[in-house]
Amino acid sequence: MTRGVAGELRHYLGPTSYSLAESRALLASAGELKKSPLRTDLAGKTVGLIFFNPSLRTRSSMTVGAFQLGGQALTLDVGVGTWKLEHRDNWVMDGDAAEHIKDAARVLSRYVDILAIRAFPERRGWGEDRLDPIIKAFARWSEVPVINLESSLYHPCQSLADLMTIEERLGSATGQPLVITWAYHPKPLPMAVPNSILLEAAKFGMDVRLAHPEGWELDDEVMTEAARLAEGAGGKLTVHHDLEAALPGARVVYAKSWGSIRYYRDPDEEARLKAPLRQRWRVGSHHLAQGDDAVFMHCLPVRRGVVVDDDVLDGPRNAAYDEAENRLHVQKALMLQLLSENAK
């Protein structure tokens, strides 16, 4: 599929890479693939999976997905059995990294038909991380389509699977009240998941209620974009610093912890400030009961007894395993769509 200039290719880098109509088409295709999983469209093709960070669901679902479409996956763990990679332009590479993404992406493009990348933030600073430099370097230099498997800013395969799950449970997502709540976690986790469900749900015109303690605001530009999408889709976006205030009538309670941008370079101070929030910002069945037959969602992995109570995860309102399964179906739909569009 070599096109010469990587910029001509269609990639899937974030929730706004695809319009609402295109996302709806992917969900329709994913629904068909859920009913009839086996195809031969990827016969003779290889999907390259590049992991800078660990994974259970993403690695498994992409590998199984490629196989079920008749192809195969090639998985590389960066720095483990392969070279450490540099992404900075015009960088004198006298540190740990032995190879530049510019070279790795061009070479891998000669072997594989899609490149899918997981690269969490490097935490040198939010100003740098929010630019998503690693995934963007792959998109710039790859000669095959690139899929974001979670970057600093976005986890768009997750949010697409989330919308599939919401529509399976509720019918149409449009207008439905969704609470996205921060939860306590001992580590300052990435913001890719809350950013992505926020944008995807806004795009689908949901009544999005974002709940978090003061000091854990999401990125300003993401919030502005979510408000623009919500307005365009006839939805709503409200922010609450009290979880209880966001819950009345909620159909979905989506829990996720994330680190504070304000204390990005000072995790010890963040840990000190969030310690008293531990009990109040853990999701329990009493929270679901304040909604309207609300389901619980989480991208997983999740810390039981820290982020959410056991009885929620082990109970009938838990949709997290459906979200995990739906990763398989939406990613297969995405691989088929990207190969089809980029072959034109």
Q: Provide the binding-site residues for ligand CP, judged by CB under 6 A.
A: 55-58, 150, 158, 299-301
Which residues are paired to 252 by β-bridges?
A: 178, 295
CB atoms within 10 A of CB 136: 19
Backbone angles phi, psi at 225, to 5 degrees: -65, -40
Q: Which is nearer to ligand CP, 192 or 237 (CB)?
A: 192
Alpha helices in 109-191 (DSSP H): 126-129, 133-141, 156-170
Q: Which is nearer to ligand CP, 6 or 297 (CB)?
A: 297
Q: Are 208 and 178 in contact (CB under 8 A)?
A: yes
Q: How far is the CB of 228 from ligand CP (least distance, A)?
A: 26
Q: Which is nearer to ligand CP, 150 or 200 (CB)?
A: 150
Q: Which is nearer to ligand CP, 261 or 299 (CB)?
A: 299
Assigned token pair, 162: 């989330």
Q: How far is the CB of 187 from ligand CP (least distance, A)?
A: 14
- Report CA dihedral (294, 295, 297, 302) to the nearest 10 degrees: 100
Q: How far is the CB of 60 from ligand CP (least distance, A)?
A: 8
Cα distances from 154 to residues 191, 207, 219, in angstroms, run 8, 21, 12
Q: Which is nearer to ligand CP, 226 or 299 (CB)?
A: 299
Backbone angles phi, psi at 42, to 5 degrees: -100, 15
Q: How far is the CB of 9 from ligand CP (least distance, A)?
A: 24
Q: How far is the CB of 78 from ligand CP (least distance, A)?
A: 15
Q: Which is nearer to ligand CP, 58 or 142 (CB)?
A: 58
Strand order in the sheet with 46-51: 72-77, 46-51, 114-118, 146-148
Q: Which is nearer to ligand CP, 156 or 213 (CB)?
A: 156
Residue whose tokens read 């790795």: 104
Q: How far is the CB of 94 from ligand CP (least distance, A)?
A: 32
Kindly calculate the radius of gyration of the chain based on its CA atoms and give it in whole angstroms: 20
Backbone angles phi, psi at 239, to 5 degrees: -115, 135
Q: How far is the CB of 58 from ligand CP (least distance, A)?
A: 3
Half-sphere CA count of 160, side-chain side, radius 13 A: 36
